[in-house]
């Protein structure tokens, strides 16, 4: 299946499952293809035929975006270098969970979470550690006897009861010996927790565009932390600095920030930013040198001169939301 067809299949599965799905991010280069939301679940989706094509820089940008948009990353693919990916298994590359289209569909449409995850050395499962201990003690089976029944060491049984994952064979032998359901499903949307991801400090590009550099300095003077994005339809994530120096910026106030001059390319980018903004709930806007418009394809436009006259993040947000509302009303 071609990547475009695979992407449409994933998009259709999410839509049928009740997700609000963004337009396809068909710009190049691109770190993500879609964002989708269902109630509290916000996922950022990358689709690749061969998942080995996910490079570390792309994965890093996806994780940073997820951190500041409070989203969960998902990579959907069909194969890796070693061959076809198996359905019902969650794989991992650069800390981003990977599933086949069929696994994703079973999960989002039917609520059937995969039971197996891949890790160095083979396939594994999560055990319910408390249930294992209760079942073993109720059966009055010692650690040593349990180890013999499962074909593992006594220390392994202790570690299973402390939360360590097990091989599929060992887990099935434990369930058979204790006549208990011990294997817990894998939640792909919880495999990466953005709250626990320590995003690196923003790095300024050595070849930063003069306009982008000037806009970045203006936003920083207004109290924003500006994180450049190299593979997104917007140029940066702008997050208000905390009032308390000891605390990090608050992701909830993050703005999708674009920069450029009016052109067919900017129009295309603005259309996608509008779609992504609606799904994520994070306002997006473009800063331009001059314009006679207040919005483009639903995305607010703000000139550098207008930005220069604002005093703080609250004033910036007020202007963006007013123009966003006007654009929605005129659509």
Specify the pLDDT at position 200.
85
Q: Which positions ≥6 away from 42 have C-beta within 8 Å?
A: 35, 36, 69, 70, 71, 72, 279, 280
Specify the pLDDT at position 222.
94
Domains for the chain: give ranges and CATH numbers: 3-113 (3.40.1350.10), 123-184 (1.10.260.40), 206-330 (3.40.1350)
Q: Rounded to the nearest 10 degrees, what angle do helices 168-178 and 143-150 cross at?
A: 120
What is the tally of helices (H) and strands (E) in the chain?
A: 11, 17
Specify the pLDDT at position 248.
57
Specify the pLDDT at position 81.
86
Specify the pLDDT at position 135.
96
Specify the pLDDT at position 23.
94
Specify the pLDDT at position 245.
47
Q: Are 269 and 287 in contact (CB under 8 A)?
A: no
pTM: 0.91
Angle 115-120-121 from CA coordinates, rounded to 5°:
85
Tens of pLDDT, residue by residue over 59-78, are 999 999 999 999 999 999 99
CA atoms lying within 13 Å on the CB side of residue 122: 9
Specify the pLDDT at position 250.
57
**Secondary structure letter of residue 26 according to DSSP:** -
Q: For the CA atoms of the chain, what is the radius of gyration?
A: 24
Question: Which stretches of the chain score pLDDT less than 70?
Answer: 205-206, 242-252
Specify the pLDDT at position 195.
87
């Amino acid at each position: 299946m071609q990547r475009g067809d695979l992407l449409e299949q994933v998009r259709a599965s999410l839509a049928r499952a009740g997700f609000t799905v963004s337009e396809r991010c068909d710009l190049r280069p691109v770190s993500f293809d879609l964002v989708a939301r269902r109630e509290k679940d916000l996922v950022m989706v990358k689709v690749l035929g061969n998942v080995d094509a996910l490079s570390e820089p792309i994965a890093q940008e996806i994780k940073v975006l997820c951190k500041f948009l409070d989203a969960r990353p998902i990579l959907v693919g069909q194969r890796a270098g070693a061959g076809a990916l198996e359905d019902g298994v969650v794989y991992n590359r650069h800390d981003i969970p990977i599933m086949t289209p069929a696994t994703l569909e079973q999960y989002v449409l039917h609520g059937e979470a995969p039971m197996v995850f891949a890790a160095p050395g083979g396939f594994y499962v999560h055990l319910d550690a408390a249930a294992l201990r209760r079942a073993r003690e109720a059966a009055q089976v010692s650690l040593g006897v349990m180890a013999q029944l499962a074909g593992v060491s006594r220390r392994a049984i202790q570690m299973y009861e402390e939360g360590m994952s097990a091989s599929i064979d060992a887990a099935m032998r434990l369930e058979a010996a204790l006549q208990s359901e011990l294997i817990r499903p894998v939640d792909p949307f919880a495999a990466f927790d953005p709250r626990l991801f320590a995003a690196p400090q923003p790095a300024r590009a050595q070849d930063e565009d003069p306009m982008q550099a000037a806009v970045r300095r203006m936003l920083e003077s207004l109290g924003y932390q500006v994180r450049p994005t190299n593979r997104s339809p917007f140029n940066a994530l702008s997050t208000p600095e905390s009032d308390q120096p000891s605390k990090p910026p608050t992701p909830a106030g993050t703005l999708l920030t674009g920069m450029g001059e009016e052109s067919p390319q900017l129009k295309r980018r603005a259309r996608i930013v509008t779609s992504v903004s609606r799904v994520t709930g994070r306002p997006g806007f473009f800063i331009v040198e001059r314009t006679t418009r207040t919005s483009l394809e639903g995305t607010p436009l703000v000139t550098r001169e207008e930005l220069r006259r604002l005093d703080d993040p609250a004033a910036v947000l007020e202007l963006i939301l007013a123009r966003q509302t006007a654009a929605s009303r005129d659509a």
